[in-house]
Amino acid sequence: MTRRAPTRAAIYGVTVLAALATGAGAPRTASAEPPSRVVSLNLCADELLLRLARPEQIASVTFLSRDPKQSTVADLARDHPVNYGRAEDVLRFDPDLVVAGRYTTRTTVDFLRRNGETLLELDAPATLPQVEEQIRRLGEALGEPDRAQALADEIAAAFAEGDPIDDVARPTAVVFAPNGFTVGAGSLVDTIINAAGLRNLGAEQDLGSYRHLPLERLLALAPDVLILAATESAPARAYEVLHHPILSRLPSQPVIVRLSPRLWTCAGPEIARALSILRGAAAEARERET
């Protein structure tokens, strides 16, 4: 009998544990034991796995999780074996659950699916409800629903802080990232910027979620807050534009914030820290107007 690939519902739903068990023909049931050998294939999956799972459940996380310039859980990752996203890296741990990203390690994920491994694929959430739902779903799959709900509630509480800000009173902001990219609508970053009381100019320029923003256009936008995605993991020409001298001499004299992308790339509690930093920048920009 030909094995059928897991459906979207099996991958995303809270019934993920009813998918085919690793190497076995019998389906998991809701009463099955939580997975005990979980492998992560994505940096954002690493972060949630390390925060939600019991340490003994974690068989392996990606090598990126140990890099403090990219990861928010480098300290937690030190105690676990790492993988490099290859199928052979995964299979040697004989996992009973593999957590992957929707857009990463696709060749490996496709192989694991054909091999009958139990997979949970995490999408890239763009809204706070999607962040909360992703955390709850992974917590359910790990057998840690209470811990997941507590983390989701912690993030939601951070977003609920502060008074509503009238759209007219919102300072304008734009993200300027390596290679001159910016962040538009339909992204988690846009959600955080708006929650901070800022108006994301990148969402108003028909630029899509992530598009190139020429330096000349940035000057013309004259934002009140300039957000520089400033992490530099290694010397690269992509970062040179972030050090262009004109950025420190913009005619509009914006509030300049250097913010590491690791704080807002994944659906974890560090997005609350990014939110707090941007709220401070918004308050400073409003003060300059008075």
- Domain coordinates in residue numbering, the chain: 9-158, 167-289
pLDDT at 234 over 60: no
The answer to whether the 9-158 and 167-289 domains have the same CATH topology is yes
Nearest to residue 262, comparing CAs of 70, 31, 35, 57? 70
Neighbouring-strand partners of residue 40? 99
Question: pTM for this one?
Answer: 0.82
Q: Mean pLDDT over all residues of the chain? A: 84
Q: Choose between 9 and 138: higher pLDDT.
A: 138
**pLDDT > 90 in the chain, percent:** 61
3-state helix, strand and coil shares in percent for the chain, rounded to the nearest 5: 45, 15, 40
pLDDT at 10 over 80: no
3-state SS, residue 127: coil
pLDDT at 207 over 80: no
Nearest to residue 159, comparing CAs of 183, 138, 137, 131? 131
What is the average per-residue pLDDT within 115-129?
95
Contacts of 22 (CB under 8 A, 6+ apart): 94, 95, 96, 116, 117, 118
Nearest to residue 153, comparing CAs of 176, 175, 128? 128
Nearest to residue 227, comparing CAs of 272, 171, 143, 268? 171
CATH architecture of 9-158: 3-Layer(aba) Sandwich (3.40)
- Hey, what CATH topology would domain 167-289 get? Rossmann fold (3.40.50)
pLDDT at 13 over 60: no
117: left (phi over 0), alpha (psi -120 to 50) or beta: beta
Q: Choose between 211 and 13: higher pLDDT.
A: 211
End-to-end CA distance of the chain: 72
What per-residue confidence (pLDDT) applies to 236?
61
What per-residue confidence (pLDDT) applies to 178?
80
What per-residue confidence (pLDDT) applies to 156?
97
**Positive or negative: CA dihedral 269, 123, 99, 46:** negative
Q: pLDDT band for position 134 (50/70/90)?
A: very high
pLDDT at 209 over 70: no
What per-residue confidence (pLDDT) applies to 204?
83
Nearest to residue 95, comparing CAs of 192, 19, 150? 19
H or E element: which one contains 210? Answer: strand 210-212
pLDDT at 70 over 80: yes
